[in-house]
Amino acid sequence: MVEENQAILKGVGLTKVFGLGHRKTIAVDHVDVEFREGEVSSIVGESGSGKTTLAKMLLGLINPTEGEIYFQGKRLDLRTYKKKKEYWTNIQAIFQDPYSSYNIFNKIDTLLLDCIRMRGGHRLPHARKVEMMTEACSFVNLKYEELTNKYPFELSGGQMQRLMIARIFLLKPKILVADEPTSMIDACSRATILDMLMKLRDEVGMTIIFITHDIGLAYYVSDSVYIMAHGKIVESGSADDVILHPKAEYTRRLINDVPKIHEAWDLSTVDYSEI
């Protein structure tokens, strides 16, 4: 009962079926998930296990075939666009593919100014807005002066994902869904991105739902872990429990696939100045 109250976001019996008849895919199959305020929870699973689909349902971007979502203890009603918009002031996302996350016709300033507007800052003087954008960019080690008037396709994948984090920094949502934010970029940038996400959690006090196919990464960042396979949750619990004492056969297989899990993520050896 006590734990129940702490859950900021909860999904009960979430199911998504794509297509009809022979071409029916059950992407997510009666999944129960629960995310506690201020924690980082990971959803781990192989490609095609339904992680993105689950995340989009939690975000209210696709409607579940079945099941309910509870936000701050109240059942979410997302039947109208107006209600969705209200929900989206609380929850934000970083998507898997940075290249398709941007509107290629909008300048980077447009994206960042949208965030300031959403936080009610559209009446602020322009100088203050620039100040805020500069702060957000420097949070992710980018220089606003170099980005202003640029288009997204002029950035690298890593820069794009960092800019997405800058966006979250400006929006300061209660919940962040990070869908494999590092899967499209190299290992060094990956460490930086993770580090920035953790910094966000610490400074803003955000609840983070971290989606990954890499169980080692999940262990490194999260408080609790959900293991997902073929649309179902096969195991869940605290990160230590699940990874150090796995019960499900599938989890053990995932862990064995990662070589030397305990040493691999020693970030102290990474030289940030080179990133």
Partner 1 sequence: MKHTLQQIFRSGKFVTGFSIFTALLLIVIFYPLIVRDDPLANIGQGTFFPPGVYVNVYDSINAPPYILNLSDAAAKRVASKLGNQERKDLKEWLVAAGIPEDEIDITDTAKLLDLWEKNYDPTKNIPGMTLARQRYFQRLNASLQGILSVEGITIANPNPQTGALEAVKTVQQADYVNISQVPNVRVLALGTDNFGRDVLTELVKATGVSLQIGIVAGIIATLIGLILGLLGGYVGGTVDDIIMFITNLFIVIPSFVLLILISFSIGQEKRGAFTIAVVIGFTSWVWTARAVRSQVISLRVRDHVNLSKLSGHSIPHIIINDILPYIASYVVMALILQISSGILAEAGLSILGLGPRTTEVPTLGLMMNWAMIYQAQILGKWWAYLPVLVTIALITFSMNLMNTGLDQVFNPALRE
Binding residues (CB under 5 A) for Mg ion: these are: 52, 96
- Is 245 a binding residue for partner 1 by CB under 8 A? The answer is no
Binding partner selected for residue 165 from partner 1, ligand ATP, Mg ion, none, CB under the kind-specific 5 to 8 Å limit:
none
Say whether residue 20 binds partner 1 (CB under 8 A).
no
The minimum distance between CB 193 and ligand ATP, in angstroms, equals 17
From the list 43, 59, 155, 209, which residue makes contact with partner 1 (rule: CB under 8 A)?
59
Residue 95 interface partner, choices Mg ion, partner 1, ligand ATP, none, CB cut-off 5-8 Å depending on type: partner 1
Closer to partner 1 by Cβ: residue 96 or 222: 96
Cβ-based nearer residue to ligand ATP, 118 or 184: 184
Q: Could you tell me the smallest distance in angstroms from the CB atom of residue 267 to ligand ATP? A: 24
Q: What is the footprint of partner 1 within residues 143-162 (CB under 8 A)?
A: 153
Q: Work out which of 42, 49, 159, 182 binds ligand ATP, going by CB under 6 A.
A: 49
According to CB under 6 A, which one of 20, 47, 260, 263 is a site residue for ligand ATP? Answer: 47
Subset of 88-117 contacting partner 1 (CB under 8 A): 88-89, 91-93, 95-97, 100-106, 111, 114-115, 117
> Which three-class secondary structure string do you get for the chain?
CHHHHHEEEEEEEEEEEECCHHHCEEEEEEEEEEEECCCEEEEEECCCCCHHHHHHHHHCCCCCCEEEEEECCEECCCCCHHHHHHHCCCEEEECCCHHHHCCCCCCHHHHHHHHHHHCCCCCCCHHHHHHHHHHHHHHCCCCHHHHCCCCHHHCCHHHHHHHHHHHHHHHCCCEEEEECCCCCCCHHHHHHHHHHHHHHHHHHCCEEEEEECCHHHHHHHCCEEEEEECCEEEEEEEHHHHHHCCCCHHHHHHHHHCCCHHHHCCHHHCCHHHC
CB-nearer residue toward ligand ATP: 18 or 272 = 18
Burial profile 235-271: b = 16 or more Cβ within 10 angstroms, e = fewer = bbeebeebbeebeeebbeebbeeeeebeeeeeeeeee
Taking the alpha carbons at both ends of the chain, their separation in whole angstroms is 46
Per-residue x/- mask for ligand ATP, residues 7 to 36, rule CB under 6 A? Answer: -----------xx-----x-x---------
Interacting residues with ligand ATP (CB under 6 A): 18-19, 25, 27, 45, 47-53, 96, 213
Interacting residues with partner 1 (CB under 8 A): 56, 59, 61, 81, 84-85, 88-89, 91-93, 95-97, 100-106, 111, 114-115, 117-118, 153
